[in-house]
Structure 1
Amino acid sequence: MGNELLIGDKLRQARLNKNISLDELQQKTKIQKRYLEAIEKGAFDLLPGDYYVRTFLRQYAEVVGEDGEHLIAVFNGETELDATTAVKARQPIETVEGSRMTTHGPAKSRIWLDYLPTILMALIALTILIIVGYLSIQDKKANPIIATPNSVEVQNAATSQSTEEKEVKETTTASEMIESTSSSEEIKMKIAINHVAPRVSEVKVENVEKPVQLDFTGLNDRCWVGVQVDGAYILQYTLAPQEKQSVELPAGVTSVKITFGASSNVQMHLNQELLDFAKDAPELLQKELNLTLAYAQ
């Protein structure tokens, strides 16, 4: 447990030194924020398993510039992490003592500021005199400053405004059509199930989004669930009735083997989509699903 605390603290300090928030780290590593927080606290028991601990440590370390393989070796107990080599936290910026006047000396340019009110008053008075003189000249000429627009100009202005309103409406309609077309062309995830044998089904999932999460829910009775990737279990669990258990697949995995001890007592979702493997299949206690994934581009 001591090594886990040291590893978590070292990664956390490295993240802070690079000014990376947990939300930014989640986007870069594709690791859920709650797992990142657990790693920094040294609570590795909150992660799905040792496989994920090693994978998450490697991904976290790569983003913050640490040696992931060394941290994994420390986690495995193969070596020790020297606490004195931990990344030091950033020191706060020292505040400069004294006022700006004390540090830089009196500013010569401040002297003219004392005369600024007088200058402004003089400018205002000059402006008023100019306006009064201009109005007097216009009165003598007996010509109105603003000419009355004739009927032709008013009609042209109304026509121009009508044309602009029509263009705005046409642009808005075109934008709505483009948005509607884009929405209709969104590619949805497709699931195909082929029962190749009474106890074995082949499941192909196309256009699946990353990351892929499997959710299992217990139904009427207990059911054992096993999930294997590359021949190694990433989940082995016995579900009680109404109990839920989830697992996130490693990034880029395309082949997964899922085994149920009592298939009639479990319900499975893939990325919140129901995978109804029991439909049109014989009801057996033991069931094996060979899952093939094709990710969306």
Structure 2
Amino acid sequence: MTELGNRLKEARKAKGLSLEQIQEMTKIQKRYLIGIEEGNYDIMPGQFYVRAFIKQYAEAVGLDPEELFDEYKDDIPTAKEDEVPQRITNVKTTSTKAVPTKSTKFFDYLPQILVAAFIIGAIFLVWVLKGGNPSDDGKQEETVQVEESNQSQNIKEESKEDSKADNKQEVKGKETKKEAKDEKKKVKKKSNKDQAIQVVSTNGRKTIYKLENTDEFKLTVTSKGETWVEISDGTGKKYFSNMLRNGESQEHDLTGQTAAKIVVGFAPDTEIKVNGQTLKYEQSATDLVRQDIEIQFEKKEE
């Protein structure tokens, strides 16, 4: 047992925790936890797992992993390229679109209403100036009622016509949008069908591919067992860096990026798809379980 393994074991017992409880807390298999306590790092699936597992173990028993790495640096494999952060927190933002409000039709007919009111007022004034002749009262009242009725009927008919025109315009707009959307789907489907993934070069455990003849770049990484996966783009921004259990997957749309980089901890249990097309490992997954994949992407010109 190494000094580091003994230190972790004593901290675990001091908290009254069993290896089964540590396994449940960290999701690290018990046999790997035993290997850490005994200093037997050869049983790990790869050297880059050692530091990650020790870090999770230390955090579970309340120890500072950075202090342990510094104090026992001679006992821990130092593969800097394998030191990756445990978790990446993705913050999704949502946008709120302003909803336009429909203006009322009232103000469109306000001038006509004012004209009708003016006519009524003028008729009433004439009647007053004439002394309010009783013989003309019935006729004037009837004329006013007829004019008001005609004015109201005209307003209703115009309102109906405007409503019908708005409905026709709205239906036509929806049909146009649907046709454009269907056409866009057809273009994308054809684009993905013609896409090609070519091998550019291989060097050690790194393979570079080139994605061509497509205008989108959607990446899916799925675990068929247990594997460590790290996904980042050409700028170095990380989208995921953690363990993938059996059946778990990561999907990312990198259409706006020029490249994607995938660190695969255990290639036999890791499936990579680009726009739904399975990426074939250029180097044997069984012979080289740890692989670094880079996919270069240049959007197809329309």
Q: TM-score, normalised by structure 1?
A: 0.39
Q: TM-score, normalised by structure 2?
A: 0.39
Highest CA radius of gyration, 1 or 2? 2
